[in-house]
Amino acid sequence: MTRRILFISKGDDSASTRYRALQFFPLLRQAGYAADHATVAGSPATYLGALRRATAADIVVVLRKTFPGPLLWLLRRVSRRLVFDFDDAIFCNSDGTPSATRMRRFAAMASACDHLLAGNGFLAAAAACHNPAVTVVPTCIDAGHYAGDHPKPRDSVDLVWIGSRSTRKYLVEALPALRLAAARVPRLRLKIIADFDLPDAGLATLAIPWSAATEARELGAAHIGIAPMRDDDWSRGKCALKVLQCMAAGLPVVSSAAGANAEIVLAGETGYLVGDDAAWAARIAELAGDATLRERLGAAGRRRASADYSLTAGFARLAGVFAALS
């Protein structure tokens, strides 16, 4: 008998929706599930529509979104099995400071559910304070999407950062370190795959508008992936998607030694973890000057992304949770 799963999120253009739901739909269908998605945003009608669709589902998975008390009560009433999936520290402010309001809504959501799916161990520990039924499901990628040998420029050494305006602050904070690296590597260029540019960065830049159709090619055409990150609660909740994308594209990664980045990057094997401007500059210069080292670390990173953070690996965890909820 086909089991029905409804995923509810703020929209199918959200990264959490794409990476933690939609990309698993083919695997879910192969496993005998009927998977569907409902958007809840803005209009009260979208909430009511999702509630109606939840009544017909065997499992309802809410992605990252918390609900006001009355709506949460209704959702719990109409859902046979309710799961909460989150890949950010939504219980605090985006600058890492505590938020009583966000924590209260998060606690209510976590307590109401039959099971929680957390993107990393830090998030799982926070959730376990309110509900012991927690499974860590790291954000996964379709490694095959990033495979391929893409021509790289010969007249520059390209660092690449991928993200959006919402995470621009991390890149801006890393600019002093990148300028220091550029002073040591005259051909260094910062490639920004996002919805913004930094024309006053203080080093050469190349802005590439993000597109799902071109991101893999643009990443693969760079030389070194970078992932600067703050060390606060909001950042600890991040699930290192940028790191995984760069690794899957065969790039060595230089990353802040913080959060899930520090768990995924194997220092000296798939890239380097750094803590200050001097270390950033030193590791970038080392990689810029050694093509063989870049190739070795990049190949190891691709193997790790494919083996440990693939769709198959992530789906195995999801399928186990869904089967247990039968």
- At 1 the pLDDT is 75
* Same domain (yes/no): 301, 161: yes
Share of the chain above pLDDT 90, in %: 94
- At 273 the pLDDT is 98
Q: Give the C-alpha distances (Å, rounded to integers) separating 324 from 8, 66, 81, 210.
A: 20, 24, 11, 38
- At 173 the pLDDT is 97
Predicted confidence (pLDDT) at residue 149 exceeds the cutoff of 90? no
Q: Is residue 181 a contact partner of residue 157, using CB atoms and an 8 Å limit? A: no
- At 15 the pLDDT is 87
Confidence at 192, pLDDT banded by 50, 70, 90: very high
- At 147 the pLDDT is 87
Confidence at 148, pLDDT banded by 50, 70, 90: confident
Tokens of 83: 């799961």
Residue range of the domain that includes 132: 3-140+310-324
* Mean pLDDT, all residues of the chain: 95
* Same domain (yes/no): 193, 319: no
Confidence at 13, pLDDT banded by 50, 70, 90: confident
* Same domain (yes/no): 320, 291: no
Predicted confidence (pLDDT) at residue 43 exceeds the cutoff of 90? no
- At 129 the pLDDT is 97
Predicted confidence (pLDDT) at residue 58 exceeds the cutoff of 80? yes
Pairing of strands 59-63, 3-9: parallel
* Same domain (yes/no): 107, 26: yes
pTM, to two decimals? 0.91
* Same domain (yes/no): 243, 255: yes
Rounded to the nearest 10 degrees, how much is the dihedral formed by the CA atoms of 166, 168, 169, 170? 110
Predicted confidence (pLDDT) at residue 177 exceeds the cutoff of 90? yes
Least-confidence region, from 41-50, 97-106, 123-132, 261-270: 41-50
Q: Is residue 158 a contact partner of residue 191, using CB atoms and an 8 Å limit? A: yes
Q: Is residue 249 a contact partner of residue 146, using CB atoms and an 8 Å limit? A: yes
* Same domain (yes/no): 133, 200: no
* Same domain (yes/no): 124, 167: no
* Same domain (yes/no): 62, 187: no
Q: Is residue 188 a contact partner of residue 196, using CB atoms and an 8 Å limit? A: no
- At 280 the pLDDT is 98
* Same domain (yes/no): 198, 133: no
61 Cβ contact partners less than 8 Å away, ≥ 6 residues apart: 5, 6, 7, 8, 21, 83, 84, 85, 117
* Same domain (yes/no): 172, 289: yes
